[in-house]
Amino acid sequence: MDLDALWKRTVEKLVGEGIITSEAVRRAFLKYPRYLFVEDRYKRYAHVDEPLPIPAGQTVSAPHMVAIMLELADLKPGMNVLEIGTGSGWNAALISELVKTDVYTVERIPELVEFARKNLERAGVKNVHVILGNGTKGFPPKAPYDRIIVTAGAPDIPKPLVEQLKPGGKLIIPVGSYHLWQDLFEVVKKPDGSIRVKNHGGVAFVPLIGEYGWEE
């Protein structure tokens, strides 16, 4: 089975459907295929545009969903980016390729911290820092951020994440119910500290657990 050929076909399909719209995101997807970030038994399915299981009962998002969030984030080289919910490490690898600098990603499950670190090391990613912690509190030591990307569904927009955004910065986060359905919010922080929220429609993510998220 030619995993590379299957993956390239998926990427070009996403381009053809207008989901991947920038050459930068296309190149990042080709550099870090999803099959590098799943267990061996799931590699043959990594090109399929659906979520896949990863350890600890979690999932790695479908390629189209990852592409949508990255295109919304509009990442540029040199941006300071925080990811909440490392999972497999795949999204962080893509972010690192887009910003070309250090990326900070917070994961609450120790098993996934190790899983992501191993995946990133095998993929040759050297500028992603995986932190064990409560992602709903953000990561103050490296704030403020140009972009914060959250890969789990929250009951509301966590206040600490807004506080850790730069003026003009952007937060991409699913907000809604615990497991069934959320709306994908694009939150822009205005110079006066207030926020502007744009709803990009329905998504389905695992719950964001933590002090400013859902209870475990």
- Which among 22, 61, 177, 194 is annotated as catalytic? 61
In the residue annotation, 194 being an active-site residue is answered as: no
Edge to edge, the sheet with strand 103-107 lists 128-132, 103-107, 81-84, 145-150, 165-176, 182-189, 195-203
- Write the Ramachandran bin of 202: left for phi over 0, alpha for psi from -120 to 50, otherwise beta: beta
Contact 121, 92 (CB under 8 A): no
DSSP state letters, 81-96: EEEE--TTSHHHHHHH
Tokens of 79: 């941006």
Find tokens 């389905």 and name the residue.
204
Active site residues: 61
